Structure 1
Amino acid sequence: MTSRSVARVQPAHRDDISDLTTRRPVPAPGLDQVDPFLFLNHHGPQTYQPGNNGLPFGPHPHRGFETVTFILEGNLAHHDTGGHESVIEAGGVQWMTAGSGLIHAEVSPPSFKRTGGPLEILQLWVNLPGRLKMNAPAYTGLQQADIPQVSVADGKGTLSLIAGGFGEVVGPIHPLTGVFMTTLRLASGGRMELPAPRDRSVLLYVVSGRLAVAGVVVDQWNLVTMNPDGDKISIGASTDTVLLFGHADPIGEPVVAHGPFVMNTSEEIGEAIRDYQAGKFNGTGPLVGVGA
């Protein structure tokens, strides 16, 4: 196996949403996407005071892609017009296929608004090829206990396997496009090699800490893109580090995005807007609150 080399280190730019600390490494100037990974927001880390307003992501529509939300600290209440409701706690993940269209909300449950506390969340958008963009919407919410924890780096690391296979372990999510997705915690001094087939796009974002990626030092809040010149990635942590790591087959199709819709043509965007306005995303009915 040959190690991949680093193509680019892309810092996340600050783009707060209301009182929510937000950093975004992609899209960014000169980096529209890491096909099929369209968008990544890093919210927090921050601490909310008691009596707060919580997350600002009230009901909004989506069509044509998947959203993946990683709850690193705090919790998150999800509800959508497909009839799915959950409250995901720290360490959990939710994977939603917007597909043909639905309306969802990702907000703080009433208990978090009352008491406050630490909050840190990642949200990733994963594109779908044209043939799958109008699939039926779907949702899976996982608590930390539902996600296999794999010991790596000679015991100095833990890989949370969300989707795909790692050795003999298989993640609980089975994405439509075969995406491999993990979060990874490495203690200082931890070293390992990550699988990264050369024909697949790599998503590697340093949530916190500092590590060397193929010999290049990368600090927190930076995304790393890799050259397709190998089939593994060598990493070594110089501090305690948290990573988001995944890989997927590039789609290689036109991307036309308009707010919460991602399609292949502007005509399909127009159709999405008309369908939303006509109530075709309403599914089983109006959203209701969840959580205590």
Structure 2
Amino acid sequence: MTKIKRIHKGEYRPIADLVTYSPMPTRQLQQIDPFIFLNHHGFQTYPSPNRGLPFGPHPHRGMETVTFILEGDIMHLDSSGHESVIGPGGVQYMTAGRGLIHSEVSSSEFKKKGGDLEILQLWLNLPARLKMTDPKYVGLQKDQIPAFTLDEGKVEVQQLFGEWNGTKGAFEESFPLTMSTIYLQEGGSFEKVIPEDENIFFYIVRGELDVNGEVVPYRNLVEFEKGEVDLKVTAKTGSILILGHAKPFNEPMVAQGPFVMNTEEEIHQAYEDYQNGKFGTWSH
């Protein structure tokens, strides 16, 4: 079995009253190309009433976001005209491309009633050839995402990108990418072989997993040694895992605030374009 190279614990980085942990980027781990940033918000319970998520209008360029809603909801609005409220088990996929402005806040119902909240956002880089592509957004509820089971039903897989076990993912990816959200009952297990030319994103959201013979608890990102990876995963407790893999771009990356480009000059241009209104207008 492939050895684990390192386990990266999520660093506690609260945002206002929002409990947040992030295993990447840190001083130990800049990125797992093309996976570049993860924020794990919650688990926490909001009172009634509350202010909800604090992510008001802000710009992006040169990257994508995948947002996993486990508990609570998220209302997406953007300068391209997209609008949705996605609830538990749903996923949002946004390509910022050449630039847009969006906000990610809680619905008025959640702010009024309160409740449990746990949401993760993963940033994907875009290859240089796609940095200035047109923005796009798709938000899907849980029942709109293809799923299948393994290990006699003890493992349920939501297939988001790419294909696994004959099930094609819910989203049309910008570059070759495979990604799943995996729900494991205690004792549930699965195996998967990852090609040696692909990098692996392996983050335990909840529970505790035996990963290739090593027990790893939740809020940890597992980094594997290079080469083909033969994954053998068994749940010690009920668990949730986000598993993705893709070929690295092997391109220079300059990230500053909400912009992810290839050069400092492109970052300066992004700020200039945003200030000059080239990311669209915010009329919500």
Tell me, yes or no, whether TM beats 0.5.
yes
Shift of 1:7: 1.1
Query: Following superposition of structure 1 onto structure 2, how do residues 62-141 of structure 1 map, counting pairs within 5 Å?
Result: 62-141=60-139
Q: Which amino acid aligns with 2:276?
A: A
Structure 2, unpaired ranges of 5+: none
Q: Which amino acid aligns with 1:76?
A: I
Shift of 1:260: 0.2
How far apart in 2 are the matches of 1:150 and 1:228? Answer: 29
How far apart in 1 are the matches of 2:151 and 2:226? Answer: 24
Query: Following superposition of structure 1 onto structure 2, how do residues 271-286 of structure 1 map, counting pairs within 5 Å?
Result: 271-282=269-280, 285-286=281-282
Deviation per residue, 1:132-184 (Å, 9 max, x gap): 00000000111101111210123211011111101211012111111111110
- Answer whether contact 1:104 1:287 (CA < 8 A) is retained: no
Q: Secondary structure at the match of 1:18?
A: coil
Deviation per residue, 1:37-81 (Å, 9 max, x gap): 000000000000011000000000000010110000011000000
Q: State the TM-score, normalized to the length of structure 2.
A: 0.98
Instruction: Tell which has more relative contact order, 1 or 2 (C-alpha 8 A, sep 6+).
Output: 1
User: RMSD of the TM alignment (CA)?
Assistant: 0.9
- Answer whether contact 2:197 2:228 (CA < 8 A) is retained: no
- Answer whether contact 1:80 1:287 (CA < 8 A) is retained: no
C-alpha change, 1:154 and 1:5, in structure 2 (3 Å) is: farther
Shift of 1:192: 1.1
Aligned length: 284
Q: Which amino acid aligns with 1:224?
A: V
Find the counterpart in structure 2 of residue 34 from structure 1: 32
Find the counterpart in structure 2 of residue 175 from structure 1: 173
Q: Which amino acid aligns with 2:185?
A: A
Query: Which 4+ residue blocks in structure 1 deviate beyond 6 angstroms?
Result: none
Query: Following superposition of structure 1 onto structure 2, how do residues 126-275 of structure 1 map, counting pairs within 5 Å?
Result: 126-275=124-273
How far apart in 2 are the matches of 1:195 and 1:83? Answer: 40
Q: Secondary structure at the match of 2:174?
A: coil
Q: Which amino acid aligns with 2:175?
A: T
Structure 1, unpaired ranges of 5+: none
How far apart in 1 are the matches of 2:153 and 2:246? Answer: 27
Shift of 1:229: 2.9
How far apart in 2 are the matches of 1:225 and 1:254? Answer: 21
Q: State the TM-score, normalized to the length of structure 1.
A: 0.95
Shift of 1:12: 0.4
Deviation per residue, 1:212-249 (Å, 9 max, x gap): 11111101110001112324311111111111111111
Q: Which amino acid aligns with 1:27?
A: P
Sequence identity (%): 50
Shift of 1:30: 1.6
Q: Which amino acid aligns with 1:230?
A: E
Deviation per residue, 1:190-219 (Å, 9 max, x gap): 111024211111000111111111111101
